[in-house]
A and B are shown apart, each in its own frame.
Chain A
Amino acid sequence: MSYGLENAEHPETLRRVAIDPVSRVEGHGKVTILLDEDDKVRQVRLHVVEFRGFERFIQGRPYWEVPVMVQRLCGICPVSHHLAASKAMDAIVGTRRLTPTAEKVRRLMHYGQMLQSHALHFFHLCSPDLLFGFSSDVARRNIVGVAAAHPETARRGVLLRRFGQEVIRVTAGKRIHGTGSIPGGVNKSVTREERDVLLADIYDILAWSRDAVALVKQLHGQDPALYNSFGVFRSSMLSLVSPGGDMDFYDGRLRARDEAGAILFDQVDYRDYHAHIREEVKPWSYMKFPFLAALGTDKGWYKVGPLARVQNCDQIPTPLADAERREFVDYSGGAPIHAPLAYHWARMIEMLHAAETIKDLLHDDDILGDDLVSTGERAREGIGVIEAPRGTLIHHYRVDDNDLVTMCNLIVSTTHNNQAMNEAIRHVAKRYLSGHKLTEGLLNHIEVAIRAFDPCLSCATHALGQMALEVTLVGADGGELDRLARHGDGTTSRPAP
């Protein structure tokens, strides 16, 4: 389904409003809205305005440098790129099967990242909207405001993230941008001392993760009409699942469901991703628009990430999270849930699953082992796919006989969600903005919809809370009609045009 607000017929006659940059997301993007004379919304687009160039400048570099270099795409979930690239390089160095220590240390690293990234997103970036309201006082709609009004919630958010970062540190060597995963395995395992330190905290982390799921359910329960309808649209869903159909963030095979929940394809070897996923380029965005080849550009777009994963799998292989998954599925009587705000609920179920998995891995002595690397016959092409916090992440490389990269293709999670986010904000614009005089609170509704997807627009901008924002109304004749500025301290003003 589509709200049809992608292309207005006569944009030159419309007023343009821009949200630039979108705040409390990872990276740099903007939203443009075109309004007619009656303030009716005619066109809405989410643009990603940054250009990174990683696919180009990794060419000509030695393959063993790739997992360390490409993770610099992002500071919030670098482990995803580190591991997806490592999986691709495993294929290059001919690793058919990682050693048990390598596989489990990588998994521990990845689930630690899931925990920290989901905690960061929910508590630091989104809880201000959900706890205070989308149009609440902008001065306190940030993590500092949450800390003042709900100190225990904010404290747990910070400590959950910290624990995930510590798991990453002992497996990757650093909290951010470590080097632990290398082609064919890992360069370190976990020491007993490191494990014992993590074990001392894991049961608190588990309890707080359960409470976080309860908090999201409570929010849904308080205003089901809002949570079930805000920005809603229907689409297919894509994720990895294990060979048995379980949720698996580190490895698996591709499964897609249509908007009614029926399986479109299942157990597809991700090395064949290009046979099932194509990308469309549109003139107004640097971000491509992927679609399922079998359904075509108009109907083939889909969503990825927690909402897709929790509904795509048959079960979650840890008991507490699976019980929460069943409750989530039952909430809609078994029909797929497409509401963007349900992403938060699914995300907290995943955080609980990550905490349970970390607990299990910490009790597994394989993570202490010394057998770190396995290699085999060299190959010239490698594809690594992983479920990053924000969704399915595809890394694809070709390496020449001199060990240098000749081709790199990255399809990152947020790219998969490109059309989905555009549809969500079109719905919100139509429902809440159309025909109204713009205010900061109304514009924040657009951002709330974008934030639900936890997009990683991936650049060096890691602003917390309110970023400076200026919205300009331009009339059909090109003249400036109105201007609204939001300042770094959260206050707004209306400077003279």
Chain B
Amino acid sequence: MSAPATFTLDGRAIAFAEGQTILQAAVAAGAYIPHLCFHPDFKPHGSCKVCTVTVGGRHAASCTTRATAGAVVESDTPAINAERRALVQMLFVEGNHFCPSCEKSGDCKLQATAYDLGMVSPHFDHFYPDRPVDASHPELLLDFNRCILCSLCVRASRDVDGKNAFALAWRGIRTRLIVNSRTGKLADTNVTAADKAAHVCPVGVILPKRRGFATPLGRRVFDLKPISAMADASAAVALAEAGEPRRDRQSDGRLP
């Protein structure tokens, strides 16, 4: 039996299976490439571009680029991180992200990625869009102010829950998350708090009601280590969303 095929990520050999993308292989190997719209449980979407790397010197979204044997992939370089930082800054100014009073703070992949990339200011002018919250559902709150259009809820509701409750409507700069119901309200869908879609949001858009701030400072997912020390932060965030007790959470962000 021959050795598995590998590519190099910043000089480190990463083994991959046929059909895996660079990011899928990296996550499986425990190597971190910054990402927001990617989740290991779902088909890659390739929209946020934060996982951009260079493959043989050319830019590519690592979540949608197939791994090939012998490829030379560069990710953690000052130039690429500067580009990622600008992407994250644009996400911050396009929505209304008020971390100081956000209950997702400390459990948020956008915030954690921004910290990790050394973002110290939004840099660009804020859009301050007007996005009213949808609090119609008895168990879930939708705060569209924080949406980064990753489409994970769209994919989860369609591919796992079989409900097709969310969609990205419009195009370009007008793209926005909508709820697939006659009234446009979440209360008029059959979404429940047990759905996969209710637990994949990497930011603070889809939230369980009446739970905010139940986790004390110091015990939130990214209080424990930076996101770059967790190849698959999605799992830790999902556990936080599911309301698992975190008093004894291990240092890698996973429950024992």
Contact = CB atoms under 8 A, between A and B. Distances in A.
A402 interface: yes
A240 to B, nearest CB: 26
B57 interface: no
Contacts of A62: 133, 135, 141, 209, 212
B211 interface: yes
B20 interface: no
Interface string B217-233: 11000000000000000
A416 to B, nearest CB: 26
B141 A179 contact: no
Nearest to B102: A65
A404 B100 contact: no
A179 B135 contact: no
Contact of B217 (A61, A67, A178, A404): A178
Contacts of B215: 187
B100 A403 contact: no
Contact of B135 (A68, A72, A403): A403
A187 B132 CA distance: 28
A484 interface: no
Contacts of A179: 213, 216-217
A369 to B, nearest CB: 14
Contacts of A490: none
B182 interface: no
B136 A402 contact: yes
B101 A64 contact: no
Given A62-B141, A64-B211, A174 B217 contact: yes
Interface string A20-56: 0000000000000000000000000000000000000
B216 A177 contact: no
A72 B211 contact: no
A261 interface: no
Given A65-B101, A403-B141, A403-B210, A60 B133 contact: yes
B103 A64 contact: yes
Given A174-B217, A179-B217, A64 B135 contact: no
B216 A187 contact: yes
Contacts of B212: 62, 64-65, 68, 182
- Counting chain A CB atoms within 10 Å of each CB, which of B133, B135, B210, B216 scores highest? B216
A67 B135 CA distance: 19
Interface of B is mostly: loop
A62 B136 CA distance: 12
A252 interface: no
A60 B133 CA distance: 8
Interface residues of B, number: 19
B38 to A, nearest CB: 29
Contacts of B133: 60-62, 404
Given A64-B103, A64-B211, A69-B101, A173 B216 contact: yes
A91 to B, nearest CB: 15
Interface in B190-228: 209-218
A199 B154 CA distance: 53
A173 B223 CA distance: 12
A444 B142 CA distance: 52
A69 B99 CA distance: 10
Nearest to A179: B213
Contacts of A183: 210
Contacts of A178: 217
Contacts of A68: 100-101, 103, 212-213
A64 B210 contact: yes
Interface string B117-135: 0000000000000001101
A56 to B, nearest CB: 14
A173 B218 contact: yes
Given A64-B211, A65-B103, A72-B101, 9 more contacts: A60-B133, A62-B135, A65-B101, A68-B212, A68-B213, A69-B100, A178-B217, A179-B217, A403-B135
Interface of A: 60-62, 64-65, 67-69, 72, 93, 172-174, 177-180, 182-183, 187-188, 402-404
13 contacts: A60-B132, A62-B141, A65-B103, A68-B100, A68-B101, A72-B100, A172-B217, A173-B216, A177-B100, A178-B217, A182-B214, A187-B214, A187-B215
User: Lowest 6 A-B CB distances belong to which pairs?
Assistant: A173-B217, A69-B101, A188-B216, A402-B135, A64-B212, A187-B216
